[in-house]
Amino acid sequence: MGISGSTQKDEHPPTTIKKHIFILSGQSNMAGRGGVKNRQWDRIIPDDCKPDPSSIHRLNANLIWETAQEPLHADIDTAKTCGVGPGMSFANAVKDYITGIIDLVPCAVGGTAIKEWAKGQKLYEDMVRRSKSAASTGGEIKAILWYQGESDASSEQDAESYRSNMENLIHNIRSDLGLPSLPIIQVVIASGDEKHLEVVREAQKAIDLPNVVCVDAKGLELREDNLHLTTDAQRPLQSPILRLDISYVVQQVCIHMHSPMIEHWDALKLHPTLIAYFDADWAGWPGTRRSTSGYCVYFGDNLISWSSKRQATISRSIAEAEYRGVANIAAEICWLRNLLLELHCPLTWVTLVYCDNISAIYLSGNPVQHQRTKHIELDIHFVREQVQQGQVRILQVPSPYQIVDIFTKGLP
């Protein structure tokens, strides 16, 4: 079954833009059956499940990154018709909390019992292979989202052995991916064979391993088959998953707050890098034809400084308007680096600044002073000095990934 819409391969942004990988695994309620009736998907996509080519990608069956769109699992869970699942609503929600690209790796297959995910089985090996392929392109595996267990509720033996099978799966996947602390966010099932449903639910909630958290799906609306979640039920599922993902990280740091060791400080600080983006809207102000400059600066994943304002003088070219913006962001970075130095958190590496104008990038590093650029000579000398001192490096970012457009241009 093909993916609806375009499946043209998307180019990832520069590798310095962080990529956050989430593995979607389990069975049909993770693969998505929302909007499916009589083996036909109604193709209704809620707003919070809409694709975002600039921020959310998926790894398809051929291990190629492309724009993520519903149904996410159409080329993975091919035996049944896939519809809306929890993956896209989760990705659209989480992108508001972290900076970078959300990479989804669909692995779920409907109608599968936990023993079919044991090490050595095809489903398990495919999940490991796809996860490693995703990480090999650059990025960090943040968590596995796991929704499975309905098939185990039909057998007393499967239900009673669920906990040990799931704990073995967690140990194996962490070992094979080389991530001993990989978070596992497990959905406690809400449907299945009533005879053993509560046995499986209790087994899921009883799993006592580090970095394993549960969210209960009980109470969410089911389709007529009393097994699969409706489209409306798939969407709110992302909220508790997202809260658990964030709260768990905070909880783990707080546990050691009274006697933190070096590794705990490292986990809290991660990599305290400054990354900046800037853009300019040349002659965009109708009354005076002045340009608008905008920039934003991130410290790690946190936005700490931003600006959007008209330039003081009229620029005679787009390169001039962009370069005046470079001078502004360079001055801001210089101030921020000095502030961090006074706070005993000095930065020993260059601050990356992303711009989508080639001329401005060339001017920042070109030692030759041209006649036609003398009217912005002070800005050129200031920025070039910062570049030569290793404080700032100006790089190009493709326009689709220029996040400062919202500061300089009207929203559609």
Residues annotated as part of the active site: 28, 225, 228
- Taking the C-alpha atoms of residue 40 and residue 268, their distance in angstroms, rounded to an integer, is 47
- Taking the C-alpha atoms of residue 231 and residue 158, their distance in angstroms, rounded to an integer, is 29
Q: Which long-range contacts (CB under 8 A, 24 or more apart) does 265-274 make?
A: 269/300, 270/300, 270/301, 271/300, 272/299, 272/300, 272/340, 272/345, 272/347, 273/299, 273/300, 273/347, 273/349, 273/351, 273/352, 274/298, 274/299, 274/333, 274/336, 274/337, 274/347, 274/351, 274/352
> Cβ of 180: how many Cβ atoms within 10 Å?
10
The H or E element that residue 385 is part of is: helix 377-388
For the chain, percent helix, then strand, then coil, each to nearest 5? Answer: 40, 20, 40
List all residues 6 or more positions away from 166 whose beta carbon is below 8 Å from its beta carbon. 114, 186, 203, 204, 207
Q: Please state whether beta strands 36-37 and 184-188 pair in parallel, antiparallel, or not at all (unpaired).
A: unpaired
Half-sphere exposure of 50 (CA within 13 A, CB side): 5
Widest CA span in the chain: 84
